[in-house]
Amino acid sequence: MEFKAEITDIKTFVDKSASLQPHTRIYRMKIPEDIKFEFKSGQFIMLAMEDFPLRSNPKMLKWSSYSIASSQLEKTYLEFSIRLLDTPGFTNHLKEKAHIGSKISIKGPFGVFTVRPDAKRLMYVCTGTGVAPLLSHIRTLLFSGSTIPISLFFGFKNPDVYIFREELEELTKKFPNFKLEPTITDPGRTDWQGRTGIFHDFFPTYSFVGKEETDVYICGNPKMVEDIKTILPTIGFNHDNIHIEPW
């Protein structure tokens, strides 16, 4: 399916400690009322802008993949978290040219990074904007009444770029089966009371419950994804229950 969606909300997160100040933005886009867009949490779509063609063929649009962060229960809008690069490319164009009211072309959905229907226990591991497909799973599961234990290990550089913070903290208060483990990697931050470090370092000593029956979904930085995929079976997780979304 292909249609145009209008940007209705943009939230910007700027890493104040970085010299180039990379931005992450959460974009909300309205699904036109005459479109019945169905997807499964974990899937992605492709985005394009009319004035951003392919470099190799200027007659064709450049389509780029983005995971849907909103719940599959939400029928009126789609939400995306996108890291906007300063190098020429689609995200830089999006940063400069897309505003509230701009129309963005969408096609999809695509992908199979969806929740296993018989999952008994879920563990999500992500970094940065990799939280998008996992948040879509979490929103859908919690708001459709799932009571299975769900944990989210969310790694990011520092609190400036802790996207979805308010909502995630709210979910932990509302749903006793949801556990949140935010972790920053920037050791110099004094405005952070939580965990600092990388998953790879603390996973071997962390008290996981029900490792063998846990389905693990991992998304984000490619090195983190590979490292975690490798380490989990060595600490008691079942290799067949590890699902990854490479970007």
Ligand X SMILES: Cc1cc2nc3c(=O)[nH]c(=O)nc-3n(C[C@H](O)[C@H](O)[C@H](O)COP(=O)(O)OP(=O)(O)OC[C@H]3O[C@@H](n4cnc5c(N)ncnc54)[C@H](O)[C@@H]3O)c2cc1C
Do the beta carbons of residue 19 and residue 5 sit within 8 Å?
Answer: no
Nearer to ligand X, 111 or 233 (CB): 111
In the list 5, 31, 82, 115, the residue contacting ligand X (rule: CB under 6 A) is: 82
27 binds ligand X (CB under 6 A): no
Residue 83 binding ligand X, by CB under 6 A: yes
Q: Which window, 13-21, 65-73, 191-199, 230-238, contacts ligand X (CB under 6 A)?
A: 65-73
Spatial separation of the C-alpha atoms in residues 220 and 92, rounded to whole Å: 19
CA 39 to chain centre: 16
Span from 60-68, 116-124, 169-177, 189-197 in contact with ligand X (CB under 6 A): 60-68
> Angle at Cα 18 formed by Cα 16 and Cα 20, nearest 5°?
105
129 binds ligand X (CB under 6 A): yes
Residue among 85 and 244 whose Cβ is closer to ligand X = 85
CA Rg, the chain, in Å? 18
> Of the listed pieces 25-33, 79-87, 182-190, 231-239, which binds ligand X according to CB under 6 A?
79-87
Identify the CA nearest to 218 among candidates 82, 124, 83. Answer: 124
Scanning the chain, the segments in alpha helix (DSSP H) are: 90-97, 131-143, 165-174, 199-202, 222-234
Q: Does 66 bind ligand X (CB under 6 A)?
A: yes
CB 120, CB 177: distance < 8 Å? no
Binding residues with ligand X: total (CB under 6 A): 21
Instruction: Rank residues 71 and 146 by Cβ distance to ligand X and give the closer one.
Output: 71
Site membership for ligand X, residue 87 (CB under 6 A): yes
Q: Is there binding between residue 55 and ligand X (CB under 6 A)?
A: yes
Give the nearer residue to ligand X in terms of CB position, either 132 or 232: 132
Whether residue 212 contacts residue 198, with contact meaning beta carbons closer than 8 Å, is answered with no
Q: Which of 41, 70, 72, 91 binds ligand X (CB under 6 A)?
A: 91
Of the chain, the end-to-end C-alpha distance in Å amounts to 22
Query: What is the per-residue binding string for ligand X in 6-25, x denoting contact by CB under 6 A?
Result: --------------------
Q: Determine, following the binding rule CB under 6 A, whether residue 44 of this chain makes contact with ligand X.
A: yes
CB of 191 to ligand X, least distance (A): 25
CA distance 3 to 78: 12
The Cα–Cα gap between 148 and 54 comes to 44
47 interacts with ligand X by CB under 6 A: no
Name the burial class of residue 170, with classes exposed (0-12), middle (13-18) and buried (19+) by CB atoms within 10 angstroms of its CB: exposed
Kindly state whether residue 64 participates in binding ligand X, applying the rule CB under 6 A.
Answer: yes
Interatomic CA distance for residues 137 and 116, integer angstroms: 11
Task: List residues binding ligand X (CB under 6 A).
Answer: 44, 55, 64-67, 80-83, 85, 87-92, 111, 129, 132, 247
